[in-house]
Amino acid sequence: MNVIKNEYHFLLFDDEEKFITKIIKLELNINALKKQIQEADAQREMTQLNGNQGRIIIILLLILIIIIIIIIIIIIIILIIISSSSSSRVVEVVVVSSSSSSSSSSSSSSSSS
């Protein structure tokens, strides 16, 4: 420790300007390193945020795909119900018209007799 104090003492009295410039250069280097560390931390945080945003987008896309599939299934079920109800109506109309034509033919045959 005494050697360092003696060296600084020697530098301050012998070549004060060189010592001050060395200290200034060291401070500048320290500040530059601090800035680099801050930039690296900011870059790391941005990378983490981008990764989280990517996950959120993928989750939202999956939810959208699931909703679209559910809507398609509901539309198919509605179409099946509509088509089955309309085919039963056609059968009813055919049965009703055939029964009415048979009753009219039987009434016409009874009137002719």
Predicted local distance difference test score (pLDDT) of residue 16: 73
Provide the residue type at 44 as one letter.
R
Predicted local distance difference test score (pLDDT) of residue 36: 92
**In this structure, are residues 19 and 11 in contact, taking their beta carbons and an 8 Å threshold?**
yes
DSSP letter, residue 99: H
Predicted local distance difference test score (pLDDT) of residue 37: 92
Q: What angle do CA 81, 82, 83 make, to 5 degrees?
A: 95
pTM (2 d.p.) = 0.41
**In this structure, are residues 19 and 12 in contact, taking their beta carbons and an 8 Å threshold?**
yes
Provide the residue type at 61 as one letter.
L
Predicted local distance difference test score (pLDDT) of residue 2: 45
pLDDT beneath 50, residues of the chain: 1-3, 11, 107-113
Predicted local distance difference test score (pLDDT) of residue 1: 41
Predicted local distance difference test score (pLDDT) of residue 65: 96
For residue 1, the Cα-to-chain-centroid distance in whole angstroms is 61
